[in-house]
Amino acid sequence: MNARSVASRLWLPPTRLADGLRSRADNFLLLRFVAAALVIYGHGHAVAAHAPEAVDVFLRMGWGRYAGAIGVDLFFVISGFLVTGSFLRRHSLPAFVWARALRLLPGYAACLLLSAFVLGAACTELPLRDYLGHPDTYSYVYSNLSLGRLQWNLPSVFTHNPRHGTVNGSIWTLPVEARMYLCVALFGAFGLLARRAWASAVIVALLVSGWFAPGLNPLVSIPESPRLAAMFALGALCWLHHERIPVHGALVLVLAATCACVHGTVAYPIAFSLAETAFVFWFAYRLRWHGFNRVGDYSYGLYLWSYPMQQLVAFLDPGVTPAGDALLAFPLALSLGVLSWHVVERPALAWKDRLPWSRRQPASTDAA
C-alpha cells in the first residue's frame, strides 16, 4: 500500500467500531507488533551506553512521551478492548480466567526460565556452580511469575551494563495487565458488564479518581500504572459503546490538533491518550491490508524478549549506540518471539476451549 493509498483511507466514509467487529477483519496483530517495535526502540536509549546527542524521536518532536511509553499505551488500549469483549462473549468467569491465564503465563514462564537458566548462566560473572546454587537464580522465576513483587536482577548478570543488572525491564507492565484482567473479571462477575450504563459510570468514576488520587486504588499502585490502567479503561469503554464509537482518520487528526492546542497544559495527557485511542481503531479497522494476519502473533514474545536481548547486546558491545542496540536486538528478540509463539503460546492457547467449562458462547467475532 503506497502513501497515496494510505492517505486516501483517511477520508473513507465514516464507520463505527461495530462495523469493524462485524467485518471480522482487523490489523490488531500488526499494530501490536509495531507497538513492540516501538518499545525496543524506546528502550535503546536506556539500555545502551549514554549518547547525549541521541534523543527519542517522539521526545524530539515534543510529544511528551517516549516511544516505549507510546508502544505500551497502544498495547493497553487494544487489551482493554479485546479482553472486555472476551468476557462478554464467554459469559463465564472460569472460562475467562482460564483464557487469560493461557494467554499471559506460558510465554512469560518460558521467558523467565530461559532467562534464568540459559541467558543468565551464559552471562554471569560467577562460576556456573555458584550461579546455579544461588537462591536468587530460582527466586527470579517464582517471584516474577507470581506477578507480585518483581525481581529485576540475576546473580552477577549484566552488572556492568549501563542499566546495571536489570535482566528484563519490560515485565513491569505484566502485573498491571493482570490487575486489569481482575477488574474485568470483577465487573463481569457482579453483572456490571451486562449493564452498559452502570459499567461506564463506574469506569469513568475510576478514571476520575485515578487522575486526582492515583495512589488510592490498590489495583494500580505500581508507579506509572495509573496511566496504563486508564488506557485499558478507554479500550474497555470503546467495546461497551462499539455501536456508537466512530472510526475515521479525521477524528485522529482532530484529536492530534487538539493535542497541539493544549500542549503544556494539564489537559494534554488526556488529549494525547484520546488521540492514541482513536489511532488504535483507525489503524485496526481502516487500513485494508491484512496480510500480516497470515503470520503468527509474535508481538507478546517480541515484547518479552526485547529487553533481555537489548541487555545482551549491550553486554557484548559496551559501546553500542541506542539505535545500534535496538537494531541488533530486534532480530534476536523476534527469533525468540517466533519460537515462543509456535512452541509455547499457540499450543497453550489451543486449550482455551477444550475443557467443558471453558467453551465460549457462539459469537459474531473473535478478537481475543
Q: What is the pLDDT of residues 296-341, one digit of tens each?
A: 899 999 999 999 999 999 999 998 999 999 999 999 999 999 999 9
* One-letter amino acid for residue 36 of the chain: A
Residue 367: what pLDDT? 38
What's the mean pLDDT in 48-69?
A: 82
Q: What pLDDT was estimated at residue 76? A: 97
Cell of 52: 547525549
Lowest mean pLDDT among 20-24, 77-81, 138-142: 20-24
Q: Residues for the chain: how many in total?
A: 368
When pLDDT is averaged across residues 15-22 and rounded to a whole number, the result is 86
Q: Across the chain, what does the average pLDDT equal?
A: 88
Q: What is the pTM of this model?
A: 0.89
Residue 12 pLDDT more than 60?
no
What is the 3-state composition of the chain as percent helix, strand, coil, each rounded to the nearest 5?
70, 0, 30
Q: Which helix (H) or strand (E) holds 15?
A: strand 15-16
Residue 275 burial by Cβ neighbours in a 10 Å radius (0-12, 13-18, 19+) = buried
**Contact status, residue 171 vs residue 150, Cβ threshold 8 Å:** yes
Rg, C-alpha atoms of the chain: 21
Lookup result for grid cell 548478570: 157
